[in-house]
């Protein structure tokens, strides 16, 4: 594994990170779909008070990110991406932990998200973190692919 986990630093995203986040979304999350998370849309998401965008960087290189939207009673994990070279290294787990800790700090205990139905690796990842599949949404991804909706109650601390 290149550069150990210790060299990867998590922190709040800066507006200058928007193009790199958008490009990572296009290649990792949106292949085969229209590019919806463009640099402009990512930047406008960052400017909204109720949104959280966190990056994982190795030196100055973006290796992962997570975006979440906070509402009055839940947190919606909008996007999470980890560079192919850093998959299975704990970056995704650390990004999710940051979002979960931020939710608890805000007094919110339910996190919801969607994952592409065909993303079996992602579905296993979320299951391992205690997320439960709660239904599907036909054609959620631009009418091309269904989504599986997942949820986690942060009051239930077991990651069984």
pLDDT digits (tens, 9 = 90+) for 110-154: 999 999 999 999 999 999 999 999 999 999 999 999 999 999 999
| Domain residue limits, the chain | 8-153
Host H or E run for residue 50:
none
- Provide the CATH number for the domain formed by 8-153 in this structure: 3.40.630.30
Distance CA(125)–CA(81), nearest Å, equals 12
The predicted structure's pLDDT at residue 156: 75
Decide if 126 contacts 115 (C-beta within 8 A): yes
Detail the DSSP E strand segments found in the chain. 8-12, 51-58, 61-70, 75-82, 110-116, 132-141, 145-153
Mean pLDDT of 72-99: 95
Q: How far is CA 14 from its chain centroid?
A: 16
Mean pLDDT of 11-35: 95
Q: How far is CA 19 from its chain centroid?
A: 16
40's tokens: 């402009």
Mean pLDDT of 23-46: 95
Nearest to 21 by CA among 4, 1, 51, 3: 51
Query: Residue 6 above 80 pLDDT?
Result: no
Distance CA(103)–CA(72), nearest Å, equals 11
Decide if 82 contacts 95 (C-beta within 8 A): yes
Residues in the chain: 160
């Amino acid at each position: 594994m290149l550069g150990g986990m210790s060299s990867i630093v998590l922190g709040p995203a800066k507006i200058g990170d928007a193009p790199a986040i958008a490009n990572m979304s296009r290649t990792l999350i949106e292949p085969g779909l229209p590019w919806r998370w463009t640099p402009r849309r990512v930047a406008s998401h960052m400017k909204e008070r109720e949104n959280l965008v966190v990056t994982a960087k190795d030196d100055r290189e973006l290796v992962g990110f997570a975006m979440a939207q906070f509402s009055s009673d839940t947190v919606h994990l909008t996007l999470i991406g980890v560079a192919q070279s850093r998959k299975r290294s704990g970056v995704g787990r650390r990004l999710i932990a940051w979002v979960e800790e931020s939710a608890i700090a805000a007094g919110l205990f339910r996190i919801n998200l969607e994952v592409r139905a065909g993303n079996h690796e992602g579905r296993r990842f979320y299951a391992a973190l205690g997320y439960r599949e709660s239904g599907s949404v036909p054609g959620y991804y631009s009418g091309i692919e269904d989504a599986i909706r997942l949820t986690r109650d942060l009051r239930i601390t077991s990651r069984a």
